[in-house]
Amino acid sequence: KNEVEQSPQNLTAQEGEFITINCSYSVGISALHWLQQHPGGGIVSLFMLSSGKKKHGRLIATINIQEKHSSLHITASHPRDSAVYICAVRLMDSNYQLIWGAGTKLIIKP
């Protein structure tokens, strides 16, 4: 069993829909990252969470430490949101190493 699991693996939605991507993990963590990988391959950090909720524009990330679960939400989705969204966790006993999920491929149709 992978230590970090994302669901769904693939998601296709219509423009304007509310999107939820989930990340579950089985290890003790000090932080959780959400990143976006563009179709061209570039990877950009979206959020870094250790508790609660963060919001940036139409993106919202939440984390529940007790349930070992995080969600990334996109409101009023747009075709430019089409990308792979990756969850990664920083282990409790490490300042350096991340364990990565396999990613969720999101396609937003106009």
Partner 1 sequence: NAGVTQTPKFQVLKTGQSMTLQCAQDMNHEYMSWYRQDPGMGLRLIHYSVGAGITDQGEVPNGYNVSRSTTEDFPLRLLSAAPSQTSVYFCASSLAGTGLNEQFFGPGTRLTVL
Interface residues with partner 1 (CB under 8 A) are 2, 4, 30-31, 33, 35, 41-45, 48, 50, 86, 88, 90, 94-103
Closest to partner 1 by CB, 77 or 85:
85
**Considering the complex, what minimum distance in angstroms separates the CB of residue 40 from partner 1?**
8
Closest to partner 1 by CB, 19 or 25:
25
In the structure encoding, which two tokens stand for residue 69, read together? 């679960």
Is residue 88 packed enough to be buried (19+ CB in 10 Å), middle (13-18) or exposed (0-12)? buried
List the beta bridge partners of residue 54: 61
**Considering the complex, what minimum distance in angstroms separates the CB of residue 6 from partner 1?**
9
CA atoms within 13 A on the CB side of 107: 5
